[in-house]
Amino acid sequence: MTNHEISAQWLPHPAAPNGALSIPDTPGIPDAPNAADTSKAADIPYEPDVADASDAPGSFDFPARAFTCACGLALPDETSAELHAMELNLCTACFGTTRQEPIPGYTRPCTACAATGRRGPQLVWELAHAEAERVITLPLIRALLPHRPFRLSELSDQVRTHLGLPPGRLPVGPRVRDLLLHLQSQGELALLSAPARLLQGTDVVLYDDPHWVRTA
Ligand SMILES: [Zn+2]
Ligand SMILES: [Zn+2]
């Protein structure tokens, strides 16, 4: 039987990337589609929104990644690695490893497959992300914004209550975070929190459950 173990390795980068990103993050809280447990943070990983280098904002200049599999199949690029993962029924984001390294030197549980490493949960969670985008809208967020400083988790809880969503049903936290970052970029909100973590060698900044406040 052929042994498969796909791995992705960041290639060394000659210079640190330019440009700053402000990314809310709470490392270590796993996504849990259809989670049976009711811990309220189940679907709120405040993760950097840089699933891979090609998704990263333009100010980033990430090094390329090299892909290999223990079976010896040539994997010249990310697409070929993803296709091989699909054949093996593995998550195409973490290649079955259950962890991602979205930025060189920063690893986290895979958010695409809820850290299962499998393709099935990845597809389920993709649908959940699409549904979250459909039901959690900008007007809804604007309507729920408190008039005092508030935390991401607080507003996410409010959205969940408002929509009657059980924890772990949809990725509420990441969707709310994206909309808050949008409102921040429009000048409607200001970020109050100081970064919890700076990533060495990059300008990426991570936040634990950040505070925002309305500017008007
Ligand atoms: Zn293989
Ligand atoms: Zn995965």
Both structure tokens of 201: 């060698």
Share of the chain above pLDDT 70, in %: 75
Residue 51 CA to ligand 2 centre (angstroms): 11
User: By the 8 A CB rule, do 62 and 11 touch?
Assistant: no
Does residue 129 fall inside a structural domain?
yes
User: CA-CA-CA-CA torsion for 197, 198, 203, 208, nearest 10 degrees?
Assistant: 0
Residue 42 CA to ligand 2 centre (angstroms): 17
Residue 174 CA to ligand 2 centre (angstroms): 16
Residue whose entry in the numeric block shows the structure tokens 């049976």 = 36
Contacts of 205 (CB under 8 A, 6+ apart): 20, 21, 22, 23, 195, 197, 198, 199
User: By the 8 A CB rule, do 121 and 93 touch?
Assistant: no
Both structure tokens of 66: 């090299």
Burial of 16 (0-12, 13-18, 19+ CB in 10 A): exposed
Does residue 172 fall inside a structural domain?
yes
Both structure tokens of 26: 């709470």
Q: Is 112 helix (H, G, I), strand (E, B) or coil?
A: coil
Does residue 1 fall inside a structural domain?
no
Q: Is 186 helix (H, G, I), strand (E, B) or coil?
A: coil
Both structure tokens of 121: 């949960």
Does residue 132 fall inside a structural domain?
yes
Residue whose entry in the numeric block shows the structure tokens 């990725």 = 171
Residue 84 CA to ligand 2 centre (angstroms): 14
Crossing angle for the helix pair 172-185 and 152-163, to the nearest 10 degrees: 120
pLDDT tens, per residue, the chain with 216 residues: 789 999 998 887 654 444 434 444 443 333 344 433 333 333 433 443 433 333 333 334 556 889 999 999 999 999 999 999 999 999 999 999 999 988 887 888 998 998 999 999 999 999 999 999 999 999 999 999 999 999 999 999 999 999 999 988 898 999 999 999 999 999 999 999 888 877 766 777 788 899 999 997
Smallest Cα–Cα separation from 110: which of 41, 35, 52, 34?
52
Residue 90 CA to ligand 2 centre (angstroms): 8
pLDDT of residue 62: 58
pLDDT of residue 119: 97
For the CA of 71, the nearest ligand: 1
For residue 212, CA distances in Å to 24, 60, 118, 178, 192 come to 11, 25, 35, 13, 5
* Environment of ion ligand 1 (residues, CB < 5 A): 4, 69, 71, 73
Residue 192 CA to ligand 2 centre (angstroms): 32
Residue 103 CA to ligand 1 centre (angstroms): 24
User: By the 8 A CB rule, do 149 and 105 touch?
Assistant: no
Model confidence, pTM: 0.70
**C-alpha neighbours within 13 Å on the C-beta side of residue 116:** 19
Does residue 100 fall inside a structural domain?
yes
User: By the 8 A CB rule, do 171 and 129 touch?
Assistant: yes
Number of domains comprising the chain = 1
Q: Which domain holds residue 11?
A: 6-214
